[in-house]
Amino acid sequence: MSDPTNNLLILTVAVPVVMGLLCVPLVNLPKLCRGISLLSFAATFIISVVLLGQLGSWGDPETGGIMVSQMGDWAAPYGITLVFDSMSGLMLAGASLVALCTTLFAIGSLPARTERRYFHPLVNFLMLGVNLSFLTGDLFNLFVAFEIMLMASYGLLVIGGGKDQLRQAYKYVVMNLLASSVFVIAAGMTYGMFGTLNMADLGRLTTELSARGELPTGFTALGVLFLFVFTLKAGVFPLWFWLPDTYPTLPISIAGLFGGVLTKVGLYAIARTFSLVFLAGEAGAVIIPILAVGAALTMFVGVLGALAYTSMRRVLSMMLIVGVGYSLFGIVIMTEGSLQGAAFYMVQSMVVMAAVFLCCGLIERATGTDDIGRMGALLQQPKLIGLGVMVFIGLLSIVGLPPTSGFHGKLIIIREGLTDMFWVVGVTALLVGGLSLLAALRVWGSSFWGPAPNTADTPEGDDHAQIQSFPRSERVGAWGLIVASLLIGFAAEPLLNTAGRAGQQLAEPQAYVDAVLNNPRYAADAVAKAKPGDEKSEYDTYAKPSKAEEEHH
């Protein structure tokens, strides 16, 4: 077995920490902070892509192309484990690209006074939590990553100091504090049941105990507790109610970052922990139907909201929720193909949702409103033709019309979903696709193609007089994500191949367990530590004795 150890993984966590701390004493020097933040996210993106490339060259069947780093050289399950496989690598690369482009946009859009309110340190610390969530190999550090991410997001929620922001932020804070409390309780119960929080060790133990029919009493309830935490983070029905009220109140660059990245952290946690641990034994029979119903209702109710609202920010927030439903549907089916579709769609959704939020910001700058009922005929303005093209590409990518980037992921998920067990959810996904197209055409048609509104209805009484040029950083940030979306759609093969490997690793998690627990670098140490005559490995000490062993003793 080749050695999967790669200590460069820590760079994806260390870079935003160092850069965020550097920005703290420099908040009154915004130009310097801007350079530091852009360097931080560009470096993280490049490191993620390079590591993904190394995974491809490593792809032997024994490791499954998985890299592991043990902090302080403490072997799992005792030390802090970072794991980089195709799924976490895709999430890291997508999130870093979104952070880079939304920060570029923020440089041109955020007022200088707001930027000095620790915007750059907070964004770096937010990405620290996001990156650690994608990399960590144990539940305790997943909780720590969530808390770092949430503390930074609380600061960014109120950074503008607007009344609407402060009014809506309390829902976000209260719901996430509730989720954090449940997370701590569930993690404590997990440790009480198994004596470990390392995900690979939990996967090994639950597989062994399930095979013997000896999973602890309450294991299914434990899975439901984690399901509550992660679905709330992801914005799954009915726990998404805080999202459409909160995101539209944020400065648009922050809304783009939140919309692109944060819900994907919850979805990633569901895909990682439930494929590895919490569907063992009879728990799957309880949890899978809950997730399937949640996916269908998230898609359907979300698209109804997108059709009902006239505020573009709220429409985009509801379309974000629809995307959460599609991703969750791919995870629920839990086949190699469906997980490939979910991995591809989650990365695509990160990029596209952030892009359309930034485009919404450009429309607001041009028209002074996000109400599509007060816009019209924007394509008649030469300065706005490029913006119209960007919004058109972004909306069609969300809907998933071929050959846009959303098509590949949705096609794979729906194809896998039209099975006997999930055909109702699959048909719902097809119906929601049609309704999403209606919602997208309504937004684009009303704002760019439809007739010009009465001048009396426009904010300043003059519909086009206030149209102005966009700052270069805003245009570069928005176009960067749109071009990335086009590349995902028209040159999909590399991403599809990587997502396929991610689906294989999630569907067959034994490679993950082997890479973490049977790492050859630490295996020698484990053997050396074992007492003479011990027949059990170091990792078997957590396993409960079988009934035969208990009777023997």
Query: Domain map of the chain by residue range?
Result: 4-453+471-520
Region class of 239: left (phi > 0), else alpha (psi between -120 and 50), else beta: alpha
Over residues 367-419, the pLDDT tens digits come to 888 888 888 788 888 888 999 999 999 999 999 888 888 899 999 999 999 88
Mean pLDDT of the chain: 87
Residue tagged 């992921």 (tokens): 409
Q: Phi/psi at 39 (nearest 5 deg)?
A: -65, -40
Q: Do 12 and 131 meet the contact criterion of CB atoms below 8 Å apart?
A: yes
Q: Do 521 and 7 meet the contact criterion of CB atoms below 8 Å apart?
A: no
DSSP letter, residue 541: G
The per-residue pLDDT for 3 is 63
Task: Label residue 297 exposed, middle or buried (CB < 10 Å: 0-12, 13-18, 19+).
Answer: middle
pTM of this prediction exceeds 0.85? yes
Question: Is the pLDDT at 278 greater than 50, yes or no?
Answer: yes
The per-residue pLDDT for 235 is 92
Question: Is the pLDDT at 6 greater than 60, yes or no?
Answer: yes
Question: Is the pLDDT at 273 greater than 90, yes or no?
Answer: yes
- Token pair for 215: 């999973």
Question: How far apart, in whole angstroms, are the C-alpha atoms of residue 360 and residue 551?
Answer: 68
Q: What is the dihedral of CA 77, 264, 505, 493, to 10 degrees?
A: -150
Angle at 506 between CA 504 and CA 510, to 5 degrees: 90
Over residues 333-374, the pLDDT tens digits come to 999 999 999 999 999 999 999 999 999 999 998 888 888 888
The per-residue pLDDT for 182 is 95
Cis peptide before 238 (omega within 30 of 0): yes
Question: How far apart, in whole angstroms, are the C-alpha atoms of residue 61 and residue 40?
Answer: 34
Q: Phi/psi at 450 (nearest 5 deg)?
A: -70, 175
Mean pLDDT across 7-12: 88
Over residues 183-208, the pLDDT tens digits come to 999 999 999 999 999 999 999 999 99
Grouping H, G, I as helix, E, B as strand and the rest as coil, residue 508 is coil
* Amino acid present at 368: G
Q: Which residue has the higher pLDDT, 250 or 532?
A: 250
Q: Do 64 and 158 meet the contact criterion of CB atoms below 8 Å apart?
A: no
Residue 220 CB contacts under 8 Å (≥ 6 apart), including other chains: 281, 282, 283, 286, 287
The per-residue pLDDT for 159 is 81
How much of the chain, in percent, has pLDDT values that exceed 70? 89
Q: How confident is the model at residue 248 (pLDDT cuts 50, 70, 90)?
A: confident
Question: Is the pLDDT at 449 greater than 60, yes or no?
Answer: yes
Mean pLDDT across 490-515: 91
The per-residue pLDDT for 537 is 41
Residue tagged 């409103």 (tokens): 369
Q: Which of 128-142, 207-221, 425-439, 456-470 has the lowest mean pLDDT?
A: 456-470
